Amino acid sequence: MSTTAGEQRVAVVTGASSGIGEATARELARRGWHLVLLARREDRLRTVAEELGAEWELCDVGDRAAVDRVASTVLERHPRLGLLVNNAGVPGRGRFVDVDPETIERVMRINYFGGIWCLRAFLPGLQAHGDAHVVNVVSVAGTISFAPAGPYSASKHAQLAFSRSTAAALAGTGVRVHSVLPGFVETEGFPQRAVLQSRLMRRFVIDAPRVAEAVADAVDKGRREVTVPWFPYRFVSLAQALTPGLVARFIGMSRQRGEP
């Protein structure tokens, strides 16, 4: 990404108090970005921000009014933003036929609507920059239907459609949109190694810093859509459309402990 000599590169990262968001903040700081970190947990967020010399704001991205207020505050300090990382997300385990309605609504509000509200609110600063980026941290769950995590999968399908749509809508405006699709990632909110039954699938669980590198590389190398790791997830994503029956049997191997 090109910048004027001496210009500070400013990035906003949501869900930055832990997991992929925290790892992404650390990786971007290592690459010279000045950070504005958003999350809901003040104690964790403040600690990370202080370690990185970053700014921070409390924000629930599922609350559109709160996002607008925080964006207005941030844009007063930084009217030109180089990067927005829409990372905030929550798990949504359960089947649509019996999961409680509140879980479905919460997962969609944060995982899907949260990215939309953040993009709309911070877009003036991104457009003012003229060579800015948006990275939506989606999931391979956005390309593969997984019954035991129905609400989460649906929210990620919607988020990927949003990301691809805005990539086309903003083409030529100076704002480039990237989608990063991690597979199973071990984080505080997603303890994959503890819940996956299949030894094979546990071999493909990765850690948050690897996703953080993919996020930063998507910006630095202009990668529009990245699956990490590529194997086996990209293969399964492509196979979903071609051989859905085979994929259904394959993902059955990744059932979580305690699930039917």
Residues serving a catalytic function are: 152
Query: By C-alpha distance, which of 134, 95, 93, 97 is closest to 116?
Result: 134
The encoded tokens of residue 148 equal: 């035991």
The encoded tokens of residue 82 equal: 């180089």
Angle between helices 42-52 and 19-30 (to 10 degrees): 20
Residue 50 to residue 56: CA distance in whole angstroms:
9
Cβ contact 42:58 at 8 Å: yes
Q: How many residues does the chain have?
A: 260
For residue 106, how many other CB atoms are within 10 A of its CB? 16
In degrees and rounded to multiples of 5, residue 157 shows phi and psi of -60, -45
Q: Which helix (H) or strand (E) covers residue 251, if one does?
A: helix 244-251
> Which residue's structure tokens are 């988020």?
159
For residue 71, how many other CB atoms are within 10 A of its CB? 24
Cβ contact 111:210 at 8 Å: no
DSSP type of residue 223:
-
Residue type at 63? Answer: D
